[in-house]
Amino acid sequence: MSDMTETTPGWLSSDDLEMARAHMPILYVEAVPVRVDDSGEVTSVGLLLRIGPDGTVSRTLVSGRVLHHERVRDALLRHLEKDLGPVALPRVPASLQPFTVAEYFPTQGITPFHDPRQHAVSLAYIVPVTGDCRPRQDALDLVWFSPQEAVSRAVQSEMPGGHGVLLKQALAHAGCVI
Q: How far apart are the first and last CA of the chain?
A: 64
Residues 6+ apart with CB under 8 A from 162: 102, 104, 111, 112, 113, 114
In the chain, % of residues over pLDDT 70: 93
pLDDT at 1: 42
Q: What is the pLDDT of residues 108-124, one digit of tens each?
A: 999 999 999 999 999 99
Decide if 117 contacts 106 (C-beta within 8 A): yes
**Three-state SS for 139?**
strand
Nearest to 155 by CA among 137, 139, 167: 167
Decide if 129 contacts 88 (C-beta within 8 A): yes
**Three-state SS for 86?**
coil
Q: What is the pLDDT of residues 139-151, one digit of tens each?
A: 889 999 999 999 9
Average pLDDT of span 63-84: 95
| Residue with more model confidence, 17 or 88 | 88
Domain locations along the chain = 18-173
pLDDT at 11: 65
What is the CATH code for 18-173? 3.90.79.10
Beta bridge partners of 8: none
Strands 120-128 and 26-36: parallel
Residue 154: CB atoms within 10 Å: 7
pLDDT at 3: 41
DSSP 8-state assignment for residue 174: T
DSSP per-residue string spanning 44-75: EEEEEEEE-TTS-EEEE-EEEEPPTT--HHHH
